Each structure stands twice: as structure tokens, then as C-alpha cells.
Structure 1
Amino acid sequence: MTPTASALRVAIVGGGPAGIYAADLLTKSEVDVSVDILERLPAPFGLVRYGVAPDHPRIKEIVKALQRVLAHPDVRLLGNVDLGADLKLEELREFYDAVVVATGARTDRDLGIPGEDLPGSYGAADFVSWYDSHPDAPASWPLDAQHVAVLGAGNVALDVARVLAKTGDEMLTTDIPAHVHEALRDKRATDVHVFARRGPAYAKFSPLELRELAHSPNVDVIVHPEGFEVDDASMEHIGRNKQAKMVLDTLANWVGREPTGKPHRIHLHFLEQPVEIAGPGKVETLRTERTRLVGDGNVVGTGLVTNWDVQAVYRAVGYRSSAIADLPFDDRAAVIPNDGGRVLDLDGGRLPATYVTGWIKRGPVGLIGHTKSDAAETVAHLVAETTPTATARSTTDVDAFLLDRGVAVADLDHWLRVDQHEIALGEAQGRLRIKVASREEMLSVGRA
């Protein structure tokens, strides 16, 4: 069923959880509304599809709920449509009364240390995009390093360490395509060192993801006692934070545990901050400085520097949003400036009928479910403030415009064909699905 002209027309730019949650809330509001979700990729779901590690299918279960929203009769998916390339913001306003930007964050935040641009120093987001078969990711990835450093104390750091340490064949139960499996099968990593600048009580790991590190039959997890310090402020912190206490308990049980002889090892180091990545032309050394707790959760450097012989460094210190064509952007905070989801210009004035939600609104913090409250705030403002202003109010007007531009729109039916194709590929190998990696193949399958 296709939505037609209605009292309110809304375009949502971005087909990840943030955008889909906003569409869901709009259709459940008291106003008569039709929603078009513009997604630059031929597949929806954003970070759920392209940011969650393939060996975490439990988290990907959220796709079922998101897909139900896309099937709503007042929601349309317009995939393979890129704002800024296929159409401009001012052109969107001809067809929609309000625009909600929900483009998320998928680039890496910089560390700001010497040597981070050396060959062999990688952003974790780029590596995640590769093993999750993002259409914009390269087809191959260099995995010839035997000793690897991962910088960061969040779940992305754990994902990167786990994927690097596990054998490629362990990943064959997941949705990775053949080129990713072959590269992981042939990788040379034996030791993966994860570095956190603060103490173990302040690690941002989720308890479940941390425990999963020890589930591989091929990986020993070693928590090094140097830097494993817990002061009074740390105890107060875990007293207020149940998840932090669970993480600390798990880590404490692993401290000093001897390796069992498994072929791969993940080393967890606390109170070590990276200060330089070095090497003549490529990564050969990571330098870290020992830090110490100062009684309020923060740390300071001690001047004690350690050189680590590594051949690759993965920076997992946070995601960063990117600027959107024709919209203001706060480069320091890496968000679109806004007041409760209402977009502001650089002078602090409000842009008419323009809204944001998700990580592009508040920064890349929190789990996927936290975007629901973002969307609720934004949608409440939109519903209260928006009046019909678009001059071309029919869905056929939008379709004709995109067709005239030569845009090959990938709608929901297109995605469902890709979805069924991936499931069929998986069934042939006894797996739930196998991803189609390239944009061209997704478009071809979807048109079949």
C-alpha cells in the first residue's frame, strides 16, 4: 500500500534506527502524516546492518521491529537516494513540509597523537565497515600484522579485538561473505592488545560483550595486573552503576590468569594512554604512558612510557558525524546544532521545518535503544510546529522528480528481494544469511 497526499508530508534523511524510530512515532502521532525515508544505501537499518559485529546476531534482532515500521502504509523507503548528490535540501522542501536528518555517525574520531596517519594505523569504524560488508568499504583489508594494538575501552574496541583474534572459520556461522571470510581465515594476528587510559571501573564495555571475549575456543583473555587499580572513587562509581560493577567483577576474575596455550590472545591493559604511533614509513611501535587515578574518575600521566612492538594499530576512541550539504555543522562537537532537535543556524536562529535526531543530534553516545528518546523529543516538536508548506504534495511528484534525475530508487520491495536473496544464499550453506556486499549487486538483485 502506497501513501498518497496527506495533511503533513515529512522526509527523513537516514534509514537507520534513529530515522526509523522517528517514522514510527510520526505514524503513531495524532496528525495525518506520510513519511518518506531517504537512505543513501540500497539497504536500510544503518548501524544495525553495518556497525554491529557479525557474530552478534542477538543485537541484529532489532531489524524485525524496524522492518515492521517500514511496512507501515504511511511510510515509504526511498533507498539509494543521496541528499547532496541526487537532490538538494531546498528541492526536498518542494515535496515535504518538514525534513528530519538522521544520518548518524560512521567516521572515526581522531586521537590527536603523532603517527596516527602512518600506514598500519586504522580507524575502527573503517575496519567495522569492511567486515560488515558496507558497500563503500574496500573489498580487501591488510591483515598481516602478528601483534596488534586496539585503542579504546568501549564495545567497538572489544568487537575489533574479538574479530582480529578469532579464527576465520569461527566466523563462518555469521553472515560474512566469502571475501571477508577468506581474509579473516588468512590473517596472522596472534596477540591483540587493548589499551584503556582510565581504570577498569570506568571501562565502557557492556557485561555481555566482555564475557563473550572468553567464549572462543581459540582465544585466551589476559587482564594484566599492572594498571588494574580501583580507588575509592572507583568503588563509588560502581556502587552507582550496576553494569560497571558487573564489568569490574568479570575483569577482576581474569586478572593474572595464566594463558592456557590457545593460539591467540587478547590482552587488556588499563591506565595506559597512547602518546605516539611510530615507525619508519609504517607502524612498528606504539608508545603509551602509564596514568594514575586522581580520585575523581580522571587520570593524569605519570611520565612512565612503554614501547610496544606492534605492526598495526586500530583506533576505537569514538565515532564522528559528518557535515550534511546545505546544513550548519558544529565541527568541534561534530553535530548539527539544534535545540531539542530543532536545527539552528550558526547564529542560533531556527531553520524552518528542519529537525535532527539520533547521533547527528546529540553525538555518538549511548546504545541503539537510546535513539528512541531522541526521536520522541524531535517528533513532538515537529508535530506541534509544522504546517503544510510543500507545493508538490503527492508521492508521485517525488517519484517523477527522482526518475527525471536518473536515480535508481531502491524501495521496500527492492530491499525485500535483497533480503530474501541473502537468506537463500545462507540456507545453501546452513547459515541464516550471507550478505551481498556491493551496491551494484544489491541494485541488480533488487530489480530482479
Structure 2
Amino acid sequence: MSAAALLIRSWRGVSGCWAPGAGIRRLSSIADPEIKVCVIGSGPAGFYTAQHLLKHHKSTVVDIYEKLPIPFGLVRFGVAPDHPEVKNVINVFTQTAHLSRCSFYGNVTVGKDVSIEELKQAYHVLVLSYGAETNRILGIPGENLPGVYSGRAFVGWYNGLPENRNKTDITANSLEAIENSKVKRVIIVGRRGPLQVAFTIKELREMMKLPGTRSLLDPNDFEGLKHVVKDLPRPRKRLMELLIKTALENNSGKEAEFQAAATKEWSLRFRRSPLEIIPSNDGERVGGIRLSVTKLEGSAESAVAIQTEDVEDLECGLVLSSIGYKSHPIDPSVPFDQQQGVIPNKLGRVLHAPGMYCSGWVKRGPVGVIANTMNDGFETAESVLEDVQSGILDVSALKGGYKVIEALLKQRGICPVSFSGWEKIDSSEVTKGEKVGKPREKLLTVKEMLEVANQ
């Protein structure tokens, strides 16, 4: 295997924000009817939507369904192990789950164990917050060769996602694999240029401070950009200033010594678009990648990459495609835009589906960080509350809620995991982690999780 890895990145910015607190509804009176709400998906979008509903309507009862036995979605499975501070939001979600009007039911797959139609009969409101669980594909020859993986699968592997466990809190097996890795050189490829990068200055600084690792930036990529930087928004300006300084200014002193002593390196390769994964000589796995040199049309973040006739071949033994996640349709009865990979909606109201709402990535696409998802969840919750108050959403009929669904699941041999069951799993993981000096040692199979939850 070549001691080089390639990461294909899409330079896409994040935009759009909803002001939290805008249009907050009054707290309901004691005479208001009980509203039974079903939230599908227990990631940040689901919990933030539930939190807002419970806070601003005291007759709301929320049941959160999750296909895994454990909650929190990408907070658990998508945040890098060396960023534990980001996971502190779990404490807020736990407070919500402990409320008497909120229940968690894990190990229940909507669309398989219970249908959307059955949930509609049992609840006044359905909120679809199941995120983006599939990968966008490159759509090029050789993409299925061994040694080509999606960024989602790679992250799931080191974070202990059950479906990717054999590839955390980094898991012990992935930590051992990374420590013994032969990868010495990583090339990060993007279709566009420096002005369109999607990473943050914090992420860049962390990369530059990796022990024993040098950063290589081509000065030609940054020539002539200094005059553009002064007019950029402050976060983008600071990021570009750091990139330009690193690329154009000669290192000296301790920094030069650090660079010279490095045994590994990473670099950014701009204006390149993948054309083909090249197999190794024996044809058994990836041996390289063929890239099209692109040119940009337009300016700043709106610039579009256009392929030219120039090509470039890079040797590598591992290819990671980090071009985004994609949502999937959960049920034929739920409207879905296949091209955009989202549920068509207006402020979270699913179009042509009264009583059905959506939040998070399945609502707006797989962009943004947890703060964006919080605002998004609040916006959807506000739409629900507005519809209740205006009478657009009829909540006068009595609904059975989980009691109805519980009977169906029992008939089908499905054993849901409660939040207290999750807390048994949590306690077990933390105890195992303490023995090896880690925050937790994750359980890696659904079977293990269920055994602990049912003790």
C-alpha cells in the first residue's frame, strides 16, 4: 500500500441562520388540549425541536424514536474524539429526556418496525428529524475499489458506529490501527480555490500544530490574493490571512526546526476535480487517482469550478471522499426531493402533508454545525406551535400516542430501549473507559448495547 492518502473535499460554505427567540409562543394554559408529538430521530435536530415544544407548550407530550439503542446521533458518531467539548451539548439533551413529558424509544426503525401511517394514527404531530444517513458518491470509474471509502464511513469507524465498527473516546481497535498506520502524506483536494474553502480557522490551526507533521502550501495558489482579503467578512479574512502567511512567508526559528524535523506532511491541492480512481498494478485495490485541473468562473464563494482538458495523476493507496452526506426517503407517503435530498417544506412544514414537519439535515440539507441545527429545530417547533394556535393543526381528537405503538411493537417482537436503558449503556462505557484512562470505551454492536440496556 502506498504511504499516501487522499482526501477529496468539496469547498462549500455554510450560510443561513434563524434568529432564536423570534416569534416565541406564549406558554399554554392548563385548559389547552394535550398534543401528542412523535419525533423521528434523536440527534441534535430532534432534541432541539422537542426541547422548544416542551418549553413553550406545557400540554405537549413528546416521544422520540431512534433506530439505534442509543441517542444523540452525530454528536456521538460524528464529532472527532479530540473535540470532547462539542459533546457537552449531550448534557442539555439529557435534561430534556428526563422531563416527565418526554420519552425516548431506541431500537425502533420507523418504516420497518412501525410505519409512518401507524404513527400518524397515534400522534397529532410527526416531526421527521432523521438526518442524512447515506453518502454522496463521486460517480467516477474505480470508486468501488478496495481502499476507497467515504468520509462518513471513516468517521463512523473511529467513533464506533455499529455499522462501521470493524474498520472515541476513539475506539481501541481504530486507535491501534491509526498508531500503526503507514500513511505519511495526506493530500486534501478541492474543486475550487483558497477563497472557497469550507474549513474553519480553528480546524486549520489544529492541522498546523499536529505533532511531527509539516504543512505544505503552494505559494502560487495564494499570489495576488492579499488585495482581496481586506474586503472579506472577518472570519473568512482571518482564515485567509493565516493561509497566505503560511504559504508565502519563509519560516524561521523554532517553526523552521519543527518543519524540518517532521516525518509526516499534509497539503492542499486546489482547483482539482476527480475523474477516475486508478487501480494498483495487480488491479486489487486503489493505486492512484486521475484529476481534472479546473478553472473558476465567478468570484468569491459563488465561484463555480469548470473542468479543463488538463489532467493530473496522483499516486495514493487510500482515497477518502468527503463530499457530503445525503438523506433518503423514509416512506413513500412522505414527500421527498430526490435531487436535493431533502423533504420539501416551508419553515419545517412538510408540503402537502398536514400534521407532518421536519427539522435538521433532512429539512435543509447536510450543512451547518450544531448551532445551526439548534436554530433550525426551534424554527420547526415554532411552526408547530403557530399551527396549533391558529387552528390550522387540529389537535382536538384524542390520540393514543406510545400506548398504541407499544402494542404494535410487542406484537412484532420489537423491544424498545428507554432512556434509562441508554443510561445503563452510558454507565457501562464510562466504567470501561476509566480502566484504560479514557472518557469511555464504546460498545460497538447493537447486540452488546441491548444486553446492557436490558440488565
Match of 2:325 among 308, 319, 322: 319
Matching residue of 1:251: 243
Which of the numbers 132, 137, 141 marks the counterpart of 2:159? 132
Q: Please state if 1:434 is matched with 2:441.
A: yes
Q: Measure the CA separation in 2 of the matches of 1:68 and 1:223.
A: 45
**Corresponding residue for residue 228 of structure 2:** 235
In structure 2, what is the equivalent of residue 353 of structure 1?
355
Aligned-partner Cα distance in 1 for 2:428–2:369: 29
Q: Does residue 52 of structure 1 match 2:60? A: no
CA deviation digits over 1:317-357, x for unaligned, max 9?
1111111123222110001111221112xxxxx11211111
- CA gap of 1:389–1:85, structure 2 versus 1, over 3 A, is farther
Do residues 296 (structure 1) and 299 (structure 2) align? yes
Q: Give the secondary structure class of the aligned counterpart of 2:221.
A: coil
Measure, in 1, the Cα distance between the counterparts of 2:223 and 2:343. 39
Q: CA deviation at 1:409?
A: 0.8
CA distance in 1, matches of 2:396, 2:262: 65
Contact 1:40–1:81 (CA under 8 A) maintained in structure 2: yes
The percentage of aligned residue pairs carrying the same residue is 35
Which letter does structure 1 place at the counterpart of 2:66?
A: E
CA–CA distance in structure 2, aligned partners of residues 128 and 229 of structure 1: 34
Report whether the alignment pairs 1:261 with 2:261: yes
- Provide, for residues 275-295 of structure 1, a one-character-per-residue CA deviation record: whole Å limited to 9, x for no partner: 222224532121223334445
Q: Which residue of 2 aligns with 1:216?
A: 210
Partners of 1:407 and 1:140 in 2: CA distance = 26
- 8 A contact 1:76–1:411 mirrored in 2: yes
Q: How far off is 1:373 after superposition?
A: 2.3
Change (3 A) 1:394 1:40: closer
Which of 251, 276, 286 aligns to 1:283? It is: 286
Q: Given residue 269 of structure 1, which amino acid in structure 2 is its aligned partner?
A: R
Q: How does 1:32-47 map to 2 (within 5 A)?
A: 32-47=59-74
Q: Is residue 367 of structure 1 aligned with residue 361 of structure 2?
A: no
Equivalent of 1:339, from 343, 346, 351?
Answer: 346
Task: Provide the C-alpha distance between the structure 2 equivalents of 1:82 and 1:389, rounded to a whole number of angstroms.
Answer: 28
Within 2, Cα distance between the matches of 1:322 and 1:235? 40
| Structure 2 CA distance for aligned equivalents of residues 22 and 290 of structure 1 | 44
Unaligned runs of 5+ in 1: 142-173, 345-349
So what's the TM-score if we normalise by structure 2? 0.83
Q: What displacement does 1:388 show?
A: 2.5
What is the letter of the counterpart of residue 418 of structure 1? I
State the distance in 2 between where 1:408 and 1:30 align.
30
What are structure 2's unaligned runs of at least 5 residues? 1-31, 388-392
**Distance (Å, rounded) in 2 between the aligned partners of 1:307 and 1:401:** 56
Give how far 1:44 is off: 0.6
Residues 8 and 387, structure 1, Cα contact 8 Å, conserved in 2: no
Instruction: Go from structure 1 to structure 2 and tell me whether the alpha carbon gap of 1:229 and 1:73 turns closer, same or farther (over 3 Å shift).
Output: farther
Alpha-carbon offset, residue 261 of structure 1: 3.1
SS of 1:260's equivalent in the other structure is helix
Instruction: Tell me the matched-pair count.
Output: 404
What does 1:114-193 align with in structure 2 at a 5 Å threshold? 114-137=141-164, 139-141=165-167, 174-193=168-187
Equivalent position of 1:145 in the other structure: none
1-side partners of 2:135 and 2:219: how far apart?
30
Deviations 1:97-135 (A, max 9, x none): 110000111322122333323332211111111111111
Counterpart residue type for residue 336 of structure 2: F
Partner of 2:381: 379
After superposition, the C-alpha distances for 1:66-121 in whole angstroms (9 at most, x for unaligned) are 21111122111111111011100111122211100001113221223333233322
What amino acid maps onto 2:175 in structure 1? H
C-alpha root-mean-square deviation of aligned residues, in Å? 2.2
CA offsets per residue over residues 263-316 of structure 1, 9 Å max, x none?
221112222222222224532121223334445132434433221111121110
In the superposition, the TM-score normalised over structure 1's length comes to: 0.84
Q: What displacement does 1:398 show?
A: 3.3
Return closer, same or farther for 1:380/1:242 CA change in 2, 3 Å cut-off.
Answer: same
